Amino acid sequence: MTANGVLQLVFYVVVLLALAKPLGAYMARVYEGRRIALDRVLGWLERLIYRLAGVRADEEMTWKTYAVTMLLFNLAGVLAVYALQRVQGVLPLNPAGLGAVSPSASPPTRTGRATAASPR
């Protein structure tokens, strides 16, 4: 490993350790339902997103609702990755000029990413 790689790892660990306590305290306040400073700044946006999505913040999700929501979210992710792979050739910021992924290679690639399996 190069000196630059070691320096990056040390920097990462230092930043991670420095942020552990404040982020832990922030997450504890959020999970306990206490008010936080960001409520004043971004509360309106959170309420808007909840209203558009039909989420009620005071209502718990059942395991069945959670499972269906998770599956739908993963399906949306798989479809988004498929669309990106199919139009990759015409997207901007493609300096290598790579074309679109072929339809036969696209399903294993996108499902491998969605299931965190390594394609072989």
What is the residue-level pLDDT of the chain in tens, covering all 120 positions? 899 999 999 999 999 999 999 999 999 998 898 888 888 899 899 999 999 988 888 888 899 999 999 999 999 998 998 888 888 888 888 888 888 888 777 676 656 656 655 554
**pTM of this prediction exceeds 0.85:** no
Hey, is 28 helix, strand or coil? Answer: helix
Residue pair 27/19 in contact (Cβ under 8 Å)? The answer is no
CA distance 93 to 97: 9
Angle between helices 106-115 and 63-86 (to 10 degrees): 140
CA angle 54, 60, 63 (to 5 degrees): 100
